[in-house]
């Protein structure tokens, strides 16, 4: 007797004991598609996507140009030849060229290394093009970038919940502030039940949240995020009712003991205190250094940001819209770096540095980030803050990061908030990657910041943030939980994220370029060696925090006095004049002669480059993404 067909195979019985119909064969399937083609409306198929196309910059390429065109041996094709070849293909649309507008300092700019084409095509066409060019071109999706914010994650799969009929519970939530003032625009989320639910409060501070379920005891948590000026709220297993309003009172930031009468009375954030910014000489204010914040803009109507007068809107191409920050993210990062009002709000690391704003969000893609880095090269920026990331490494972007480093630009990037491997561009060996830590006594116990706690807590209360990405690429860690900083139009908010950690290190880097004697001794020379020297000093200043190893915290949390050689027993690092050779050597007396030689611009040995995707060689000591 033969075996019965397995469930799901042709001839197998279905759940009702009947024989299941076989799947349509090829002819039947083609008939179904034909009928769909005849139906009115637009047929759904693959659309063209944006791709980045650029001549490969790595040496040793084959001598075959794009589409079989001859090319000089070991030389990539010119951008003009690539553009002409793409324009000759009816299925490829060249949208624009990025990175050819100008020449950077020292002849190192977009024009010196060629530009990048942005073209629209299908995935199949891109694969064919990659095969035809035999590695001569970098061809990659123009990925959409993400701001590194802590937020609910998208589901990893199509789940099994499809609620069709179920009891529902309506919870009327009321959010009040100081003295019982209604708080509008507060996000309220309920966890538990069959599906999560949420909403935003109205002008009366009210919102009704409807949850699938049949008992209020199904709610496992309630979360409230205010727009500004208050701490968030989180309650596990809340006692909620459906027959009357559920009232939640939020704490003003100014009620926290470390922020008395805030913001009318200025304060130093806990992150700045943890890195001992307050123990540097008061004249260390970042004078003469240029910082770029590539983010969502920065609202310079804010009292702490009014010194910011330079910027560019990469997305909108409007010279006057870089200071319109609808997300608040860029304003928050800029405040940590350069908050400048001495009597109001939070002190920034480098209040007298020249901050340039490159607006890239919402909607930023890799091609626009390349444009932003070209702006930084042309403007001779010293330090770039990258509180953003993508999905996968980008060889085209990596080429521009390398070019920026050659121009003396130090890129400092947030590792990401997925709680997984370090994201790109922080995973690049040519940037300084910053993970996030928190401190247990720096936020209220009923705030949502408690949810960032991990079991990795040291005796001082420092902990690795649960959301922070980790891996061998992590260079250092910095405060990134409950960071209070500026948000539009003239308010403050306490946020979490590696986005908040990176600006702490960016601010310290700016101070070091402005005032560190070893870096000053190079006479302002803009080079990759200066960037390496800066990164090495920052890493060497790190002090161990939390109980975890280097995969999560790198070299530790940078310590500002140590980075300058101050405050070490038996050391008189800063007695010699700033900028003098003696001062440079004294400030680095704790390091060996080989390191001193590197800091004074004499170079330092580097590990061999490794081969990244598409054969592009990245210099550096780290391998893998």
Count Cβ atoms within 10 A of the Cβ of residue 70 and give its class: 0-12 exposed, 13-18 middle, 19 or more buried. Answer: exposed
What is the spatial distance between Cα 581 and Cα 588, in angstroms, rounded to a whole number?
11
Maximum C-alpha span of the chain = 97
What is the spatial distance between Cα 4 and Cα 367, in angstroms, rounded to a whole number?
57
Residue 318: asked if its preceding bond is cis (omega within 30°), the reply is no
What is the spatial distance between Cα 600 and Cα 518, in angstroms, rounded to a whole number?
6
Residue 133's SS3 state is: helix
Residue 349's SS3 state is: coil
516 a catalytic residue = no
Count Cβ atoms within 10 A of the Cβ of residue 182 and give its class: 0-12 exposed, 13-18 middle, 19 or more buried. Answer: middle
What is the spatial distance between Cα 116 and Cα 139, in angstroms, rounded to a whole number?
10
CA dihedral 453, 328, 350, 306 (to 10 degrees): -150
Q: Report helix angle 395-406 to 528-540, nearest 10.
A: 90
What is the spatial distance between Cα 460 and Cα 466, in angstroms, rounded to a whole number?
18
Phi, psi of 447 (to 5 degrees): -90, 160
φ/ψ bin of 275: left (φ > 0), alpha (ψ from -120 to 50), beta (otherwise) = alpha
What is the spatial distance between Cα 212 and Cα 232, in angstroms, rounded to a whole number?
25
Which of 302, 329, 356, 515 is labelled catalytic?
329
Helix (H) or strand (E) holding 510: helix 498-515
What is the spatial distance between Cα 169 and Cα 187, in angstroms, rounded to a whole number?
19
Do the bridges between strand 354-359 and strand 617-618 make them parallel or antiparallel, or are there none, so unpaired?
unpaired
Which of 142, 229, 295, 382 is labelled catalytic?
295
Buried b (16+ CB within 10 A) or exposed e, 564-574: bbbeeeeeebb
329 a catalytic residue = yes
How many DSSP H helices and E strands does the chain contain?
A: 15, 27
296 a catalytic residue = no
Buried b (16+ CB within 10 A) or exposed e, 246-257: bebebbebbebe
362 close to 327: Cβ distance less than 8 angstroms = yes
603 close to 529: Cβ distance less than 8 angstroms = yes
Residue 246's SS3 state is: strand
Buried b (16+ CB within 10 A) or exposed e, 461-495: ebbbbbbbbbbebbbbbbbbbbbbbbbbebbbbbb
Report in angstroms the alpha-carbon separations of 507 from 281, 335, 504, 533.
15, 10, 5, 16
Exposure of 349 in the CB half-sphere (CA atoms within 13 A): 32
End-to-end CA distance of the chain: 56
Which of 334, 499, 541, 548 is labelled catalytic?
499
Active site residues: 295, 329, 499
């Amino acid at each position: 007797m033969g075996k019965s067909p397995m469930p799901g195979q042709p001839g197998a019985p279905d759940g009702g004991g009947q024989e299941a119909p076989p799947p349509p064969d090829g002819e039947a399937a083609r008939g179904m598609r034909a009928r769909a083609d005849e139906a009115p409306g637009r047929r759904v198929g693959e659309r063209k996507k944006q791709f980045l196309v650029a001549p490969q910059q790595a040496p040793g390429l084959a001598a075959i140009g794009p589409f079989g065109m001859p090319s000089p041996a070991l030389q990539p094709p010119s951008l003009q030849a690539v553009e002409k070849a793409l324009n000759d293909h009816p299925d490829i649309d060249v949208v624009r060229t990025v990175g050819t507008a100008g020449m950077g300092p020292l002849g190192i700019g977009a024009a010196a290394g060629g530009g990048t084409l942005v073209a629209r095509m299908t995935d199949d066409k891109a694969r064919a093009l990659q095969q035809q060019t035999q590695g001569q071109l970098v061809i990659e999706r123009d990925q959409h970038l993400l701001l590194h914010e802590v937020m609910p994650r998208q589901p990893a799969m199509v789940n099994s919940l499809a609620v069709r009929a179920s009891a529902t519970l309506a919870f009327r939530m009321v959010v009040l502030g100081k003295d019982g003032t209604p708080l509008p625009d507060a996000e309220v989320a309920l966890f538990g039940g069959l599906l999560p639910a949420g909403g935003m409060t109205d002008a009366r501070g009210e919102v009704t949240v409807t949850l699938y379920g049949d008992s209020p005891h199904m709610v496992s948590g309630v979360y409230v995020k205010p727009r500004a000026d208050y701490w968030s709220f989180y309650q596990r297993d809340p006692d909620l009712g459906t027959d009357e309003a559920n009232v939640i009172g939020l704490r003003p930031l100014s009620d926290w003991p470390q922020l008395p009468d805030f913001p009318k009375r200025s304060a130093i954030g806990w992150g700045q205190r943890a890195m001992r910014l307050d123990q540097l000489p008061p004249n260390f204010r970042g004078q003469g250094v240029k910082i770029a914040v590539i983010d969502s803009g920065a609202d310079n109507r804010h009292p702490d940001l009014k010194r910011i007068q330079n910027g560019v809107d990469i997305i909108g191409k409007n010279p006057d819209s870089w200071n319109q920050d609808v997300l608040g993210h860029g304003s928050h990062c800029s405040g940590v770096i350069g908050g400048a009002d001495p009597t109001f709000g939070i002190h920034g690391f480098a209040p007298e540095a020249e901050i340039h704003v490159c607006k890239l969000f919402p909607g930023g893609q890799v091609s626009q980030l390349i444009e932003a880095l070209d702006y930084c090269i042309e403007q001779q920026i010293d330090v770039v803050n990258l509180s953003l990331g993508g999905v996968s490494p980008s060889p085209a972007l990596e080429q521009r990061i390398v070019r920026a480093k050659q121009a003396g630009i130090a890129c400092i990037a947030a590792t990401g908030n997925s709680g997984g491997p370090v994201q790109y561009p922080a995973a690049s060996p040519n940037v300084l990657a910053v993970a996030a830590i928190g401190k247990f006594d720096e936020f209220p116990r009923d705030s949502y910041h408690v949810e960032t706690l991990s079991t990795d807590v040291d005796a001082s209360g420092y902990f690795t943030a649960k959301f922070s990405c980790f891996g061998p690429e992590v260079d250092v860690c910095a405060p990134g939980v409950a960071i209070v900083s500026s948000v539009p139009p003239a308010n403050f908010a306490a946020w979490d994220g590696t986005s908040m950690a990176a600006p702490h290190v960016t601010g310290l880097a700016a101070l070091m370029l402005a005032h560190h004697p070893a870096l000053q001794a190079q006479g302002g020379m803009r080079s990759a060696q200066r960037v390496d020297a800066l990164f090495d000093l920052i890493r060497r200043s790190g002090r161990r925090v939390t109980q975890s190893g280097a995969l999560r915290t790198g070299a530790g949390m940078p310590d500002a006095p140590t980075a300058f050689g101050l405050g070490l027993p038996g050391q008189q690092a800063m007695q010699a004049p700033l900028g003098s050779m003696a001062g440079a050597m004294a400030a680095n007396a704790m390091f060996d002669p080989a390191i001193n030689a590197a800091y004074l611009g004499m170079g330092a040995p580097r590990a061999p480059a490794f081969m990244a995707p598409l054969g592009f060689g990245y210099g550096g000591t780290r391998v893998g993404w």
